[in-house]
Amino acid sequence: MLRLILVIAVFSITQFPVVSHAQTAHLQSNRIFVDDIAELIIEFDNKIPSLYALDTSVLEADFEVLDVKPSISRIFESDEAFHRMRWRIDILPLRTGILEVPSLQVGESLTPALGLEVIPQSPEFNSAANVRVELEAEPENPYVGQQVKITIRVIHNVPLFEGSLVEPDVGSSDTYRPGLESRYTIFQNDTELGVLERNLSIIILEPGETRIPPASYRGRIRTGTDLATTETGALSRRINRASAARYLEVRRPPAEFSGRHWLPARQLTLGLQWDQVNDNLSVGDSLGLTLSIEAHGLAAEMLPPNLLSMDTDSFKIYNDQETRSNRFDGQELIGRLEQRFVIIVTEPGEIHFPALVLKWWDVDRESEQVATIDGRNWIVSGPATGQANHGVNTVSPGLDDRLARGLVFASIPGGWPWYAGIGTSLLIIGLLVYIKPVRHYLLGQVKYNLDRLRNRSALKQACRTNNPTLTRRALIKWGRARWPLDNINGLHQIESRINSTGLARELRQLSTALYSDRSPGWQGRQLWQLLTDEERNLPGVRQARERSLPALYPRRS
């Protein structure tokens, strides 16, 4: 009996379509002014609680689709429950006249076609409700990597509400925001005007002509005049006002610049802070220091790490992970890099820590400048020595006393067999020669793997919580670990090194979510999945890592 009921139920589901109640499509207003936003509302009732994919490409002939906002709600009518799917589509007419809003496919149905009349505004009416957007970029001929200050202003003589600024999306660039928007008033032609201002800093990464697309303001204004109400029948209007585009001529680094790292800035300083140093240094002692680089008008991601990499016969230098930060002083971007280093003394005698020199380009003076830190000298004493009763045996000062006694005893005739003494001596000598490099190598590998696991966990958490800022930060660390020989400081560099077109598309969507208001609902789960797949297919991670490490057993000259 139960089997018969199941068969009947399955047959009913497969033979009869899902019941749908109603389908409607309408415009909030059938008549609008040019440069105003029309709202297309589509509603569809269905038993299935899911949204259909909506293809709006048919609208692009006469309209720019600004936004599509879907929603779903549960409705009860006559003791019957169903789900109401709703789409609100913001469209901007591209011309005046009577335009047709074509039918859209919803499931297996088509919405009805609608008519929209777009009328021009008279100069008198436009001056009565004037909202304009200005876009400024300075300088107009920057160098690659130089800060460009972007200022967006919305100037208006009527109150604004329910609005937002849409920033220009500049490809091949990084965007930095100093803070919140500012509001103030100005006077023009004896008229008080309100101003909404937002400042950005962009770093353009490729030379040549770069187009900065228009910035736009989308919001609502009250009609305020009988003429507007008569013409459109609306008490308020949703407007879209756009600025003009800007074009920048981005210059390459000048031929006369002789530095290793291209650093275009207004000011750059080096700082070096030593830990407390003991004047009585011995072989095996360590010195700690912190190096800082601060640049005005340059992002922290552009500053070079690992500047202290000069190993000599007298000392070895080991670097820690750098810390980068950006802040704003007014509208000026100030990037800062701090990095810890440890110096291990390996030879006795006088050692010289050389002066540090970093060349950079002064964008105000159009000339090469040099930031320097003076060198330093120390006197290092040799290791302690010990003697036994039968012959002299030199033992490393860090060796355990019991090990030293075993070495001496092994060399005494009659103590152990002579071959046992020789074998023990060779073993201890081998340990003395190799244990220190092996220890440093193993500790480096452990630290590398721990950092990799921590960063992977942070990247996974950032993607799953849909946090674009934390995701970008973790992705940069992932890229630096994956390509340790490259200076990875932006998403575009990771995109150029991967093989997956899907992952490249997700990285571009992440950049849009970071630097634009066009993707407020960024989702990171797809990025994490594609990144996990790509990581399995990326060859040579270990080889790249090993090429970036110092030799485990360096040769002595």
pLDDT by position in tens, the chain (length 557): 445 444 334 334 333 344 444 568 999 989 999 999 999 999 888 776 666 778 899 999 999 999 998 888 888 777 777 888 889 999 999 999 999 999 998 877 888 999 999 999 877 777 778 899 999 999 999 999 999 999 999 999 988 888 889 999 888 888 998 877 899 999 988 889 999 999 999 999 899 999 999 999 999 988 765 555 555 556 788 999 999 999 999 999 999 999 999 999 999 999 999 887 666 778 877 788 899 999 999 999 999 998 887 767 778 888 888 899 999 988 899 999 999 988 888 888 888 888 899 999 999 999 999 999 988 888 888 764 433 333 333 333 333 333 333 333 333 344 444 445 555 656 655 555 555 565 566 566 666 667 777 788 888 888 888 888 888 888 888 888 888 877 777 787 788 888 788 888 888 888 777 755 444 578 888 888 888 887 776 554 444 444 444 443 344 44
- CA distances 480 to 122, 325, 448, 490, Å, are 58, 17, 12, 10
Q: Which residues contact 222 (CB under 8 A, 6 or more apart)?
A: 158, 159, 235, 236, 237
Last residue of a domain, one of 120, 144, 179: 120
Radius of gyration of the chain (CA): 34
Residues 144-182 as b or e (16 or more Cβ within 10 Å = b): bbbbbbbebbbbbebebeebebbbbbbeebbbbbbeeee
Which CATH number does the domain housing residue 65 bear?
A: 2.60.40
Rounded to two decimals, what is the model's pTM? 0.59
Residue 223 is assigned to a structural domain of this protein: yes
Residue 526 is assigned to a structural domain of this protein: yes
Q: What is the pLDDT of residues 43-101, one digit of tens each?
A: 888 776 666 778 899 999 999 999 998 888 888 777 777 888 889 999 999 999 999 99
Asked whether residue 89 falls in the same domain as residue 156, the answer is no
Q: Is the separation of the CB atoms in 356 and 373 below 8 Å?
A: yes
Describe the crossing of helices 468-482 and 501-515 by its angle, rounded to 10 degrees: 130
Asked whether residue 223 falls in the same domain as residue 281, the answer is no
Q: DSSP assignment of 261-293, as one string?
A: S--EESEEEEEEEEPP--SSEETT-EEEEEEEE
Last residue of a domain, one of 52, 87, 120: 120
The total of structural domains in the chain comes to 4
Task: Give residue 9's pLDDT.
Answer: 43
Cα separation, 397 vs 385, in Å, equals 7
Asked whether residue 269 falls in the same domain as residue 151, the answer is no
Last residue of a domain, one of 120, 153, 186: 120
Placement of tokens 């674009």 in the chain = 468
Q: DSSP assignment of 460-496, as one string?
A: HHHHHTT-HHHHHHHHHHHHHHHSTTS---SHHHHHT
Asked whether residue 281 falls in the same domain as residue 209, the answer is no
Asked whether residue 160 falls in the same domain as residue 227, the answer is yes
Asked whether residue 344 falls in the same domain as residue 326, the answer is yes
Q: What is the pLDDT of residues 192-202, one digit of tens each?
A: 999 999 999 99
Task: Give residue 393's pLDDT.
Answer: 37
Residue 256 is assigned to a structural domain of this protein: no
Q: Is the separation of the CB atoms in 198 and 243 below 8 Å?
A: no
Residue 514's domain comprises 437-548
